[in-house]
Structure 1
Amino acid sequence: MGSKFHAFMFPWFGFGHMTAFLHLANKLAEKGHKITFLLPKKALKQLEPLNLFPNRIVFDTITVPSVEGLPAGAETTSDIPISLGSFLASAMDRTRNQVKERVSMSKPDLIFFDFAHWIPEIAREYGAKSVNFVTISAACVAISFSPGRSPDDLAVPPPGYPSSKVLLRGQETNSLSFLSYPFGDGTTFYERIMTGLTHCDVISIRTCQEMEGKFCDFIESQFQRKVLLTGPMLPDPDNSKPLDEQRSHWLRQFEPESVVYCALGSQIILEKDQFQELCLGMELTGLPFLVAVKPPKGASTIQEALPKGFEERVKGRGVVWGGWVQQPLILAHPSIGCFVSHCGFGSMWESLVNDCQIVFIPHLGEQIFNTRLMSEELEVSVEVKREETGWFSKESLSGAIRSVMDKDSELGNLVRRNHAKWKESIVSSGLMNGYVNNFIEALEKLV
């Protein structure tokens, strides 16, 4: 057993990032290591319940400064639409002196970061090692970030890129245009991530060799940095909290594996016509369904944006919900038969470790790569086909769902078999624990 270290964690101010870092912190704390977790004050209430080792993981709140363009009081991505991310990145960058002060006082051994590309400089100054913890798929990093290339080169895979079906098609390169956008003062999203990857001491990725080994090897060769894998890094099932009674009661009235659950993550706000097409597609399946999405643009409630006559028509079998839901508990419910998701990396892993069929509607660049990895490399899911407009029709959504839910469907049976195999290998305790143990051992050697 190696010596105990003290690690700082400073994730991007988005809950998908902060919770992934906290799951990792819990694994490190379980082995006796000490963590100081830097986060915005507003995030404290949501993250505190997820801290399983309050004696070893200390939350240290950072004051997020006001930035012109950022709404007053905004501290995390859930306080803003995705279009204002650059202003939040500026605010994060302006916490640099607060972070530096904490580091100079505590002298940690390691500092974990993702979007704060200036962390390696601070780490070096105070004798700490910087660990870039990547919470997106290795496939996405491999094709999007490569030394000596620019975001304009993304239509063509980089030299040496593993032969793979994880590629963009035609118009989809537009979905990566955000890489060239300003993200914070004087830097683009692409430059920010590249700086972090080229200057850190170690790259760590939340994935496993079995699924993405060839991409991880490629990243290691491109950046000449050790790439350490944490494995899927999923929280242990929380048996202490049951699913809320209203949701549980509603789900119980349906047959096992018959309900379609659809959620598109906390950041996606649809246009009203996209939202209505989604609802009509769910109705068209003829199956019971639960949709959890934010109200669309221009609407303050879900109800006012629903298609005409929709509520009457789906009464008793369909619910569209605009608030927060206990996603892992819903996915684990015996009545759920299909999960329709945007394929963010967290939802991707959650879909793999449950039994339901998987249908993806990717929205942003990273989600497209995750979807290709799942649907074309691993063949465990189905991707909804898009129209020329870039969105999908109610018919294509309903068709994709029916194609995996129909018991006699060849495609449905293929993805079900492959999914069962992957699920079995991922949830075997040996795999997850093995990754965590190897990862921590490598960190102990590093310090």
Structure 2
Amino acid sequence: MAVEVARAAILADFFFPWTHHLAADLSVPRLVFYGVGPLLVSIFHRLWLDLPRPADPAALISFPSIPGSPSFSFSHLPSLYRRYVAGSGSPEWDFLRDEMVAGESAWAAVFNTFDALDGVYLCYLKGEMKFNRVFAVGPIHNALDRGGVTDVVAEELAAWLDGSPAKSVVYVCFGSQFTHGMAQGRALGEALEGTGARFVWCVGSDRVAGSDGKLVPEGFEERVKGRGMVVRGWAPQLEILRHRAVASFLTHCGWNSVLEGIVAGVMLLAWPMEADQFLNARVLVEEAGAAVLACAGGREIVPDPEELGKLLAESVNANAFVETRARSVEMGRKAKEAVLEGGSSFKDMEALVAELSELGLHNA
């Protein structure tokens, strides 16, 4: 008598490459989920194989086998790889590299992105990597009620935005992990104060990294009262970006922020700082044309307040960056269409479910 027996599979984040051993021991498929862009995965693939180790951090590393033949200075490569180079030779770092390479043998790869943004790299990965099942199912919806402690009442912020003209506000946020150096943070504050544009500035912690000083200058909020709001702690980013008053987003280009800004259809002002952010900025600025490079670098980079302030002002001027603004809106439309029935991500999700269904049951 034939009996149907359900079969399991493992879905694991790419930061857990060791799960390929578990999947092999259990004889089940392993799907790796990438909450990052496929350009990063493409770059990582070559880095782990080729292991470039230039003595000069400014040296350019080229990737001719990747579409567009991208080049990055060593200092702009993913920070995980740069830490590997600094620590290679130790058992821990060599174990990480071996696991990352072995982890590429997954049964399938699932990406939080969509074809209109990253199609060229998705196609590349299908031909380059050991897995040949590559599914882009994003942008994945984020819950509106996520977050942490904040000093701003949501209703107060919403009321301030409601009272702002359409497309008049710059939203400034660099994620939950980065903290400014004193000179850098003060330059940003000076730019915001001098620009004349309306803004919401999420400073996270007001304490400056490596200092007892505060990021927001004394008297700053009084001087910009009515024109700007400062959020300490967690900002309700999705609600802010989706508000009709917001025109632009000064962002560190972390992948979640990238997708949230794209879906909102706002113009992105890219300030990559670490990790995969320089790669993401390339996709946004040079390929999608939906962003403008505002600055590049971490705490060691201090922008000119006047130049940055000018850019912030232009980002809310409907007559400036007309083509970039149009591309932002278009990319936002394509992102939303991707997850609707018949869209590229909808179809990829259907294909993924179909593939899993085919191997999910067997006769015993």
Q: Same fold (TM over 0.5)?
A: yes
Evaluate the alpha carbon distance shift between residue 156 and residue 234 of structure 1 in structure 2; reply closer, same or farther with a 3 A threshold: same
- Selected match of 1:177 from 82, 92, 108: 82
Matches within 5 A, 1:325-404: 325-386=235-296, 390-404=301-315
Aligned positions of 1:253-292 closer than 5 A: 253-292=163-202
The aligned counterpart of 2:106 is 200
Cα distance in 1 for partners of 2:268, 2:95 equals 30
Report which structure shows greater RCO (CA 8 Å, sep ≥6).
2
Contact 2:247 2:315 in 1 (8 A): no
User: Are 2:327 and 1:418 equivalent residues in the alignment?
Assistant: yes
- How far the C-alpha of 1:397 sits from its partner, in A, is 2.3
Q: Letter of the aligned partner of 2:305 in structure 1? A: K
Cα distance, 1:193 vs structure 2: 6.4
Matched, 1:148 2:64: no
Deviation at 1:363, TM superposition (A): 0.8
Partner of 1:38: none
Deviating above 4 A after TM superposition, structure 1's stretches of 4 or more consecutive aligned residues are 3-6, 173-176, 181-185, 236-239, 298-301, 386-389
C-alpha spacing 1:131/1:371, structure 2 compared with 1 (3 Å): same
Q: Which residue of 2 aligns with 1:444?
A: 357
Q: Cα distance 1:209–1:334, how it changes in 2: closer, same or farther (>3 A)?
A: closer
Return the alpha-carbon distance in structure 2 between the equivalents of residues 5 and 314 of structure 1. 62
- SS of equivalent to 1:347: helix
The Cα shift of 1:199 comes to 3.6
Structure 1 counterpart SS, 2:128: helix
TM-score (norm 1): 0.67
Question: What amino acid does structure 2 have at the position aligned with 1:168?
Answer: F
- The farther-off stretch of 361-370 and 213-222 is 213-222
Amino acid at match of 1:383: L
Shift of 1:179: 4.5
The partner residue of 2:124 within 218, 223, 229 is 218
| 1:158 counterpart = 2:71 | no
Give 1:216 shift: 2.1
Following the alignment from structure 1 to structure 2, what is the Cα–Cα distance between the partners of residues 231 and 300? 44
Q: Deviations over 1:241-263 (max 9, x none)?
A: 9x921211222221111111111
> Which shifted more, 151-160 or 248-257?
151-160
Deviates more, 1:230-239 or 1:334-343: 230-239
SS at match of 2:65: coil
| Distance (whole Å) between structure 2 residues aligned to residue 121 and residue 198 of structure 1 | 12
Question: d(CA) in 2 for partners of 1:425 and 1:293?
Answer: 31
- Tell whether the 8 Å contact from 2:273 to 2:296 is kept in structure 1 after alignment: no
Once the two structures are TM-superposed, the CA of residue 293 in structure 1 deviates from its matched residue by 2.5
- Cα 1:201–1:170 shift into 2, 3 Å: closer
2:122 partner amino acid: C
Q: Deviations over 1:367-406 (max 9, x none)?
A: 1111110111110111114599534222332233233322
CA contact (8 A) 2:250 2:268 kept: yes
* CA separation of 1:443 and 1:278: change in aligned 2, threshold 3 A: farther
Q: Are 2:203 and 1:297 aligned?
A: no
Residue 138 (structure 1) aligned with residue 51 (structure 2): no
* 1:95 counterpart residue number: none
Question: Secondary structure at the residue paired with 1:226?
Answer: coil
Secondary structure in structure 2 of the residue aligned to 1:359 = strand
Partners of 1:216 and 1:227 within 8 A in 2: no
How far the C-alpha of 1:224 sits from its partner, in A, is: 2.3
Q: Percent identity?
A: 21
Q: Does the aligned pair in 1 maintain the 2:265–2:330 contact within 8 Å?
A: no
- Give the 3 Å change call, closer, same or farther, for CA 129–122 of structure 1 in structure 2: same
Are the aligned partners of 2:78 and 2:276 in contact in 1 as well (CA < 8 Å)?
A: no
Residue of structure 2 aligned with 1:321, choices 210, 220, 231: 231
* 1:8-60 deviation line (CA, Å, top 9, x unaligned): xxxxxxxxxxxxxxxxxxxxxxxxxxxxxxxxxxxxxxxxxxxxxxxxxxxxx
CA distance in 1 between counterparts of 2:74 and 2:18 reads 35
- CA spacing shift, 1:387–1:244, aligned 2, 3 Å: closer
Output the amino acid matched with 1:212: D
Provide, for residues 319-360 of structure 1, a one-character-per-residue CA deviation record: whole Å limited to 9, x for no partner: 222211211111111211211111111111111111322111
Contact 1:197-1:223 at 8 Å conserved across structures: no
Of stretches 308-317 and 321-330 in structure 1, the one that deviates more from structure 2 is: 308-317
> Which shifted more, 436-445 or 166-175?
166-175
Normalised to the residue count of structure 2, the TM-score between the two structures is: 0.81
Preserved CA contact (<8 Å) 2:84 2:93: no
Aligned to 1:244: 154
- Between the aligned partners of 2:283 and 2:5, the Cα distance in structure 1 is 37
- Unmatched segments (≥5 aa) in structure 2: 148-152
- Which residue is 1:235 aligned to? 141
Query: Do the aligned residues in 1 keep the contact of 2:176 with 2:204 (CA within 8 Å)?
Result: yes
Note the residue ranges of structure 1 that are not aligned, 5 or more in a row.
7-107
Equivalenced residues, count: 338
Q: CA RMSD in A?
A: 3.2
Amino acid at match of 1:152: R
